Amino acid sequence: MIELPRPYSRSDLVALYEQGLSVRAVAKRLGVSHPMVRYDFQRWGITQRKGKQQSGKANPNWRGGVIFRRGWKLIQNPSHPNSTKTGYVAEHTVVACAKYNLTAIPKGKCVHHINLIKADNSPANLSVLTNRQHKVAHEHLARLAVELLLKTGKVRWNEAILNYEPTVD
- Chain residues that interact with Zn ion, rule: CB under 5 A: 112
47 touches 133 (CB < 8 A): no
Distance of CA 132 to the CA centre of its chain: 19
CB nearest Zn ion: which residue? 112
Measured distance between the N- and C-terminal CA atoms of the chain, rounded to whole angstroms: 62
Measured from the CB atom, the residue of 34 and 112 that comes closer to Zn ion is 112
Strand order from edge to edge, sheet including 88-90:
66-69, 72-76, 88-90
Measured from the CB atom, the residue of 75 and 96 that comes closer to Zn ion is 96
In the complex, minimum distance from the CB of residue 138 to Zn ion, in angstroms, rounded to a whole number: 6
In the complex, minimum distance from the CB of residue 83 to Zn ion, in angstroms, rounded to a whole number: 21
In the complex, minimum distance from the CB of residue 134 to Zn ion, in angstroms, rounded to a whole number: 5
Measured from the CB atom, the residue of 6 and 112 that comes closer to Zn ion is 112
Residue 28 contacts by C-beta under 8 Å, 6 or more apart in sequence?
34
